[in-house]
Chains A and B, each alone.
Chain A
């Protein structure tokens, strides 16, 4: 990875931390009304008219059949590399995936069977655009829209940094089903 791994890890953890249910402290930092922040969090991630507006689950932005395979494969990969996802959410829970990425990235340097570009391409490439778009469309505070955009850009930048030698574009050489 060309970027500063420590800085990237810290950023991923902070991005994951932004999914925590809003508190008074958080509202104060953001200078937003706590109730507005709560309402937006609930609408986007928990419960809303017409279905949650931006489910924080990566597989929801894939074909419905792919989600199951995505969850099974991603959790399997984490288990193989000593990363334990919490059981309070499905394995495609985006903040958990961001945290997992920090641990998996650290292991990639020592592990022959963990290629960071393949990891990013397979599990962190197909959903961020749609997730960011959903947040951008439905968030009324700006906070979650900015969060979605930052997740997307961070993952694109990471993937660019990890591009295998010889590949000049970000066109995926891997498919989700591979």
Chain B
């Protein structure tokens, strides 16, 4: 039965329209109590961006209660007075008509797209009933429920507070899909993942660090605002990226051979006596072992491994060692290939042997303004099991986990079954390699809960979606950013939350009331205060700082970086020896190679290609391709293929091609012929072919990286290895 127009006018309109209306019949508007304003109301609210992890502070212009635009905060040191296109585009996010507007409970099959609106109480009850049932079926072991999240919001720790008091060790966060390898590699040498003083460096080597197109840290701005000729930039990448275009030299290195390049550089530097003997004698251990080790890695040998000429390697090594402020940039996302941690160690050692540490233009441990830690009572459980992949990774970060081995074990229920997944803003179906595996995991789960402002592909496949307020509508607690110029930032709302949405703290602390610990106490007992009270507590040692935050969006202190404090002995390198470790006894004790040993990547085979990933200048991760203000720049992605390779396969620009990997992943995508990629590699940008039809700008457009990437990881840090993906390609 349907309602006709006649019936609507005759009866439905009056009857339905008046249901539940107040005395004045108004539901959505009211009459002003105060004197109406006669002029346009414009106000500025400083807060920080959430489109990428850089968290740049902006001045939000709010006109008549509507966010008009986000302007850069000129005094914020970290962004150098800049607000990027992605950040600007964020102003529209609260008004996106496809936001999740209230809690939603799935009514059809997963992924079918049938939902009903639910009240918060109804959604919480639904989650608790299902979750408690599977926990009971697992004998009370709460480890059967896992929690996935991503960095970037300042409320992520509340989500993991819920996990901890709930009693599950299974956290899976983003680092092993991003920077765990480089952190582990540099920590093993310098005791920290240091900052890089790009501003004062006159010679930089970047190995795949596409600073012009990735997220925009201070290094990007410092590097590219410099006048031509004031610095030399050497860039190694299989692709001609925008960073390559701005470099003095682009070297299309063979994927997986960055370590060979670094080892050969050390061969030249040490062999020719160009190393900084004084720095090494005073501050390093293991130089003799390293010098002996790199003797075998000549530039001629490296030429065969890297496709970079021995002459170029020699010249770069000599220039690097003799330029006083040279630095080999460590990189950020390093989920690439082979022994990725050892590759990063080799790069760290190149810096160490020329003394590019604790000096202008070099590496320097970042500073952080101390804030009072957030504290809550822990919950104790008698039934405890270690996290799933505990034995698969040498340096396991318990708060982060390692996504690839964790998912493999979850699929095998090894050593126990995972029955539920709570997800906070991590779009696991679009970000994890091998989407088929993730979908297979989802199919095994009894309950999937997703907290997200948007209907991401992951939310689309969930059972319950809990809508979080966007970063422009909520208060986020203070966070200290460790930098060369350390600052504290926070977020404050520009407008009140739209729709029936809530910040994460409110969501998890309310949800906690529907669960009990082993003693029968509600988990909400473990949540105290509010985001505001937590912020005040965190700032207790910095009087007046909250006012500064409210006014400027950030504050800094007299904590300033001073070069030479490690060299003078005032500070100590945070390794076990207290020295820069060129040879790692710690690695040796753990059965790992104490020095980086190069292994040639396996031959990819005739007619096959290595799929490489990388950033796009306009987009961040998988989220921003669906922003209308950014999507128009690139409405669909295309696979880069070298014309020499394309000619052999009869592929032309614009052809639809079929790509297949070795594990059942395949995509169809348009081809783009370009000499800006090696003939043995293929590439396309991230963020397209979303699984979520609720992201119409990227649904069914182009191809998803998650669909073609194979699932590999290295066992030292647990980092995914995305460049181990080997594919075939042909015209579709």
- Residues of A whose CB lies within 8 Å of any CB of B are 10-11, 13-18, 20-21, 23, 25-26, 29-32, 35, 38-39, 41-42, 46-52, 55, 57, 59-60, 64, 67-68, 71-73, 75-76, 78-91, 93, 95-96, 99-100, 103, 140-143, 145-147, 149-150
Contacts and interface: CB of A to CB of B under 8 A. Distances in A.
Contact of B628 (A64, A81, A82, A146): A64
A99 B12 contact: no
B499 interface: yes
Contacts of B696: 50-51
B498 A38 contact: no
A79 to B, nearest CB: 5
Given A86-B29, A142-B2, A143-B12, A13 B17 contact: yes
B26 A91 contact: no
B4 interface: yes
Contacts of B63: 72, 76
Query: A-side binding surface: helix, strand, loop or mixed?
Result: helix
B27 A20 contact: yes
B634 to A, nearest CB: 17
Interface in B87-129: 92, 94-95, 97-98, 100-102, 104, 107, 113-117
Contact of A51 (B7, B95, B107, B694): B694
Of B12, B14, B20, most buried by chain A (CB within 10 Å of CB) is: B12
Contact of B20 (A20, A31, A60, A85): A20
A52 B38 contact: no
Contacts of B15: 29
Contacts of A90: 66, 94-95, 498
24 contacts: A14-B13, A14-B17, A23-B19, A29-B15, A30-B16, A35-B107, A42-B104, A46-B104, A47-B104, A51-B693, A59-B95, A72-B64, A75-B65, A79-B36, A80-B37, A80-B38, A88-B498, A88-B499, A89-B28, A90-B498, A93-B28, A146-B3, A146-B8, A147-B13
B95 A85 contact: no
Contact of B3 (A23, A30, A99): A30
A113 to B, nearest CB: 9
A76 B499 contact: no
A31 B1 contact: yes
Contact of B97 (A30, A57, A84, A95): A57
Nearest to B699: A50
A99 B97 contact: no
Contact of B13 (A15, A57, A142): A15
Contact of B117 (A42, A64, A81, A96): A42
Given A35-B107, A38-B117, A143-B12, 14 more contacts: A14-B18, A16-B27, A18-B16, A18-B17, A29-B11, A30-B16, A32-B1, A42-B115, A49-B694, A52-B97, A71-B64, A79-B37, A99-B25, A146-B5
Interface in B656-713: 693-696, 699
A11 B29 contact: no
Contact of B8 (A49, A89, A143): A143
A146 B2 CA distance: 10
A141 B8 CA distance: 11
Contacts of B116: 35, 38-39, 42
Contact of A48 (B65, B94, B694): B694
B225 interface: no
B97 A26 contact: no
Query: Chain B: interface residue count, which band?
Result: 35 or more
Given A29-B15, A49-B693, A72-B63, A79 B455 contact: no
Query: B-side binding surface: helix, strand, loop or mixed?
Result: loop
Given A51-B98, A55-B97, A80-B36, A29 B12 contact: yes
Nearest to B455: A47
A144 to B, nearest CB: 9
B694 A150 contact: no
A158 to B, nearest CB: 16
A13 B693 contact: no
B68 interface: yes
B28 A99 contact: yes
Contacts of B20: 17, 20, 23
Contacts of A78: 29
B107 A85 contact: no
A163 B92 CA distance: 35
B136 interface: no
Contacts of A83: 29-32
Of B1, B28, B64, B117, most buried by chain A (CB within 10 Å of CB) is: B28
B558 interface: no
A154 B19 CA distance: 20
B571 interface: no
Contacts of A150: 5, 8-9, 13
Nearest to A91: B66
Nearest to B95: A90
B606 interface: no
